[in-house]
Amino acid sequence: MTDNPTRFRRQPGQAGRAGLLRPWLLLATGMLVGGLAGGAYGALKAPTYTATSYVVAVPSKNSDPTSTLGFAQAYGRASTQLAVLGDAQSSAGVSARTLRRNVRAATSPDAPMIAVSATSPRPGLASGMANAVTSALTRHANRTKDSTHVELVPFSPAVRPTEPSSASPVVTGLVGTSAGGLLGGLALLVRPKRTESDDTPILPAAVPGPAVAADVHGQL
């Protein structure tokens, strides 16, 4: 009696289903790991708060109103320079280096307005830094108003923020899920391609049974 070698062969349908499941499993694993990592980062990272104050450039008497836009752009660039930040550090209660790292200024191409934003883990400190920088910038700009014929006027002071500006754990989790899915997709693109022969196991050599061996001895 001989063994049937076909019983060791994998069925074609089973091999196809296994080949289709492997890419989806890799992609799902990447999305799951990315989502968990992103959610954990958002939950463990301390929230940050952002406060913004505004000043506006206005023309003085006998001056060209269109020049205020150009001066607003220049004052916006100067608001984060050491001369202004050094003057603001005493009223802000932090060093000029901290102000330089956490304060940003933005200007508008259509209006002579400057927005100074400060970020901090403490909401009160964020508003204090923004107001200190705009006050220092106003003092520096108005020292030369007789020659520039443009002065800065406070428009809206920064108020204490009530909600964090940093991303919530839900947002960071979604970002992590997207990143994990992207990495999983890239891994699928660069992985070696499998062929049908890779899914087919090597069959053992057929060994004649005892009955066949006895027949051979009888013939001899």
Domain ranges of the chain: 49-156
Two structure tokens written together for 165? 């500006």
Going by C-alpha positions, the residue among 58, 165, 57, 59 that lies closest to residue 104 is 165
Q: Is the pLDDT of residue 48 over 70?
A: yes
CA distance readout (Å), 182 to 27, 108, 111: 8, 36, 41
Tens digit of pLDDT for each residue in 107-127?
988 889 999 999 998 999 999
- Compute the average pLDDT of residues 49-70: 87
User: pTM of whole model > 0.75?
Assistant: no
Question: Architecture of 49-156 per CATH?
Answer: 2-Layer Sandwich (3.30)
